A and B are shown apart, each in its own frame.
Chain A
Amino acid sequence: MNGKKILSQFKKGLLTRNPVFVQLLGMCSALAVTTTVVNALGMGLSVTAVLICSNVIISLLRNIIPRQIRIASYIVIISGFVTVVEMLLEAFAPTISKSLGLFIPLIVVNCIILARAEAYASKHEVLPSAIDGLTMGVGYTVALVVLAFVRELFGSGTVLGFTVFGDWYKPASMLISPAGAFITLGCIIAVVQKFLMKKEDRDFKKEGSEGKLNG
């Protein structure tokens, strides 16, 4: 695996195959924890850590785990790492652990992790699987931070807890509410779709044949 390939994987994770904006995986946590950028970062990093670890272990064990019980085995491996992350956060970042609450243990059922285990780690070597975990995790984190940035900036007028707008700004607190989460995410996905459609058009013209978005 050379540098160029890693770069293209990062591009996939960040944009063209972004887990949240394009693949629509892990929506529950994406909607729930993005009221502040700090929460989004905490959640994103936790998921990334779990994703890398589980991808590595599953890739190591891919020839040992029998096919019939693979999903159950993956879930056990993933929930082991989730418990580790949960306990680490509780010990070293109690405030984040408190505000993320239920959504930390719910990483177990986050579809991104199971999807990467099934689609990638169970078929590839250790190093590519780790890189895949990293790129997808970073893509997830970036998506969460973008969503949280918009919601925090306009919903409470702050970013990372610092006030951005002056006193004249009256926060649109609707964006912090659950309804705001759905609407903001919808709009962001629309922007991403628009961008990808343009790119597809370009690729289409360049190649003069079918678009190749289904990679």
Chain B
Amino acid sequence: MVDILILMFSAILIENYIFSKFLGICPFLGVSDNPSTAVGMGFAVTFVMTISSAVTYGVYYLILEPLGVEYLETIAFILIIASLVQFIEMFLRKYIPALYSALGIYLPLITTNCAVLGAAMLSIQEGHSFIESVIYGFSSAIGFTLALVIFAGVRERMALAKPPKAFRGVPIALVAAGLIAMAFSGFLGISFN
């Protein structure tokens, strides 16, 4: 139980996907303009990442490894994620329309979000068990959501500021992200041993 909590804590804060692992920067810069879209994107990613961690675990250990074709990992995982996103989209549209209308527009973007593929591959690399990889996927996505929401708040404030002309738009956003990353690096000092 303690192991699981440590895994969750480090995936959310210490090894935050945005601020220390650099996974999922494109959606991070793309949809963090206002907090409500950030929350929507965050939940969609959490949903897909938790399910995809479970499915890729199964495919890797039940199909790829017994057949000795581990090198097909990249192709297999991206196909799984792409079709899973399609499937989730169809499922939500049919059975949970309220959730679909909230997450719908973000779902297609998730296929090319490197955080999803990254989480699946890291889980395999680290040799997580089934439960661990699901929890790892889920908590990494929570860390991603946290970063997105914090940054959306900062960016909303920043819209009122007047930086030099050359810095307007993305450059000042990146500098702000750097400052938040600095704050997050404070968690690096925490050790559990």
Interface residues of A, Cβ cutoff 8 Å to B: 24-25, 27-29, 31-32, 72, 75-76, 79-80, 82-83, 86-87, 102, 105-106, 108-111, 114, 174, 177-183, 185-187, 189-191, 193-194, 197
Contacts and interface: CB of A to CB of B under 8 A. Distances in A.
Chain B CB count within 10 A is highest, among A28, A72, A110, A183, for: A28
Contacts of B72: 83
Nearest to B165: A197
B67 to A, nearest CB: 15
B118 A183 contact: no
Interface string B79-96: 100100000000000000
Contacts of A86: 71, 74
At the interface, is chain B mostly helix, strand, loop or mixed? Answer: helix
Sort chain B's interface into a size bin.
Answer: 35 or more
Contacts of A27: 25-26, 29
B175 interface: yes
A87 to B, nearest CB: 6
Interface in B105-139: 111-114, 117-118, 121-122, 125
B16 to A, nearest CB: 9
A24 B170 contact: yes
B113 A109 contact: yes
18 contacts: A24-B170, A27-B29, A28-B22, A32-B21, A32-B22, A76-B75, A80-B75, A83-B75, A102-B121, A106-B117, A114-B112, A174-B182, A178-B181, A181-B22, A181-B181, A182-B175, A193-B167, A193-B168
Nearest to B117: A109
A110 B23 CA distance: 11
Contact of B178 (A76, A181, A190, A193): A181
A94 B118 CA distance: 20
A190 B182 contact: no
Contacts of A79: 74-75, 78-79
A83 B174 CA distance: 31
Interface of B: 19-26, 29, 71-75, 78-79, 82, 111-114, 117-118, 121-122, 125, 164-175, 177-179, 181-182, 184-185
B186 to A, nearest CB: 11
B160 to A, nearest CB: 19
B62 to A, nearest CB: 20
A24 B174 CA distance: 11
Contacts of A186: 167, 170-175, 177-178
Contacts of B113: 109
Nearest to B174: A186
Contacts of B111: 75, 109
B112 A191 contact: no
A24 B75 CA distance: 25
